[in-house]
Structure 1
Amino acid sequence: MRINLTSVFVDDQEKALRFYTEVLGFAAKHDVPLGEDRWITVVSPEDPEGTELLLEPSGHPAVPPYKAALVADGIPAASFAVDDVRAEHARLAGLGVRFTQPPVEMGPVTTAVLDDTCGNLVQLAEYK
């Protein structure tokens, strides 16, 4: 068994697609129209056949309070592995990305948390 697909709920799929590809550097994999919404997935360019991230619309009534509660408590909706958190933090901050947590060492992992501009916090993690 392996993880094939996971998702984050986004307020605006087009805005999310731009952020996750143009800023974070993921590659678009699928973009299928589904009525008012789309089935949009992105992947790591380092592993194009790997786990896909679905940029899922936040239309279900349970989603807005769920997302608001996570953000209010500072809980990331997703975590992405990076080779160097400090370098990625500097690169993204230079692009105007807002961080809610700068790089912090926590034992065998260094993390930083950013705002994805679509209603989520996202953790970047470097594992030693």
Structure 2
Amino acid sequence: MHDRPDPCEILTAAAAFLRRELIPALPPELSFKTRILANALDLVARQTAADGAAADGTHARLAGLLGREGSEEELAADLARRIEEGAIALTDPALIDHLWTTTLAKLAVDQPNYASYRAETGAAGLQE
């Protein structure tokens, strides 16, 4: 167990500092590049926060879908093979649930402001 601030809080604070203090004081070209950096810090913070829960959920769904244990990489490769061979139909409700849930988890990290993601999950938009 680590003390606070945790890595997500540090990254979030750094991004907020860039947006609040640095970007307004920079010339346009550097302001744009610094905004990209702030967005990257936000993405890493979201990824760090989501890693454990998303990985556990993905592994559990894959194991349930395939009826066996293994590493997430092994299970994902097995799933791809079974889909390719037709052993798991693209219309399988468990497959659809897995793919949909995985996609939403990835969007939560990569594109949380994406309108369709927000509409599907009821998530509020994040500040830019």
Q: TM-score range by the shorter chain?
A: under 0.3
Structure number with larger C-alpha Rg: 2
Q: Which has the higher strand share?
A: 1
TM-score (norm 1): 0.26
Q: Which has the higher contact order (CA 8 A, sep 6+)?
A: 1
